[in-house]
Amino acid sequence: MISVRPQLLVSVRNADEALSAKRGRVEIIDVKEPLHGSLGRADAETILSIGRAVSRPVQLASDCGSSEFESGNWQSRSCLSLALGEVLDWHREPADVLCSYQNAIQVARPAYLKLGLAGLKNGSATASPGISPVASTWEGAWTAIRTLFTGDHQWVAVAYADSDRAHSPTVAEVCEAAIATQCRVLLLDTYLKDGTTLLDWQSLGDLQKLREKTQRHGLLLALAGRVSVEVASKLLPIHPDIIGVRGAVCHGGERKSSIDEQRIRHLRMALSIG
């Protein structure tokens, strides 16, 4: 297998953090509110402000220490991803909230959207009026919410490595559904952010088998879940397409703190990503 550097995804919670991520040469800037959970959904106005920041040219520090102004090349390589919370969140929301997010997505034009499946292990959820019809399976509930968001984005299927704690479908089940519904990415993450890492819930052998399956079906594999430099170094031989982080590039290594641009650069250098 030819070794290809994974893209770096950094989750940000505001426009200032997005600009820090962009200056740090992050390939995928992911909008997330960590106070709202693993896939914490930001409000619609935050999505719009981050979208504007991501589209803005910035002053970049080069690897050799000088600075260079890139208004086109790097901008075209930075894309936006949105965490939309859990499927169950949308079954509780009124129609006006849905409309505000639909409008924000149309303006921000994200490359990727993702929805979590926590709480759907044993079936689906009852829909709120005006949001979605009731589905008899978790797959039906998931796809019903996805159809509400139109655009040229691609979908990320999210599997929780600690699926028992999330009461969500298993990694294998989500992978099969991702293939069946033509998702572009399978993201493996942890649901509870309690200091455990992805490797506390999935062995390297299991991750390698998952990598082989996603490759056979043309599905990109993203790995996240308290991924530090040390953990990422163990994941790199699996050749994930994307490595996702937040806490690892925040001040003090705490995901609820703000993004630290120097930590982004350190992570990229340590992993030879940049």
Least confident of 5-14, 87-96, 102-111: 87-96
Q: Which two tokens stand for residue 270?
A: 């340590």
- Of 2-16, 88-102, 122-136, 145-159, minimum mean pLDDT range: 122-136
- In this predicted model, what pLDDT tens digit does every residue of 55-94 receive, in sequence order? 988 766 554 343 444 444 444 468 999 999 999 999 888 9
Whether pLDDT at 121 is above 80: yes
Mean pLDDT (whole number) for 15-42: 95
The confidence score (pLDDT) of residue 132 equals 46
Q: Give the integer Cα–Cα distance in Å for 262 and 246.
A: 13
Chain-centroid distance of CA 98 in Å reads 20
Distance CA 143, CA 247 (A): 30
pLDDT, residue 272, reads 72
Q: Which of 25-29, 54-58, 152-156 has the lowest mean pLDDT?
A: 54-58
- pLDDT value for 270: 75
Angle, helices 261-271 vs 15-23, to 10°: value is 40
Mean pLDDT for the chain?
88
198 half-sphere exposure, CB direction, 13 A CA radius = 28
In the numeric block, the tokens 């929805």 are attached to 115
The residue-averaged pLDDT of 202-215 equals 98
Region of 167 on the Ramachandran plot (φ > 0 left; ψ -120 to 50 alpha; else beta): left
Residue 6 gets which letter from DSSP? Answer: P
Q: How confident is residue 136, by pLDDT bands cut at 50, 70 and 90?
A: confident
Give me the residue label for tokens 């308290």.
226
* Domains within the chain, CATH numbers bracketed: 7-271 (3.20.20.70)
Q: What is the mean pLDDT of residues 7-31?
A: 96
Please say if the pLDDT value at position 232 is more than 90. yes
Please tell me the least confidently modeled range out of 13-27, 46-60, 187-201, 216-230.
46-60
pLDDT of residue 208: 98
**Residue 3 buriedness (CB in 10 A; 0-12 / 13-18 / 19+):** exposed
Q: Which helix or strand (DSSP H or E) is residue 221 part of?
A: strand 220-223
Amino acid identity, position 150: T
Q: Which residues are CB-contacts of 23 (< 8 A; sequence separation ≥ 6)? A: 58, 59, 60, 61, 261
Can you give the pLDDT at residue 223?
A: 98
- Interatomic CA distance for residues 246 and 254, integer angstroms: 8
Contacts of 175 (CB under 8 A, 6+ apart): 157, 159, 186, 210, 213, 214, 219
Contacts of 147 (CB under 8 A, 6+ apart): none
pLDDT of residue 5: 82
Q: Which residue's structure tokens are 């390589």?
A: 77
Percent of the chain clearing pLDDT 70 (strictly above): 86
Determine the straight-line distance between the first and last CA of the chain, rounded to whole angstroms.
20
Q: Report which DSSP code applies to 144.
A: H
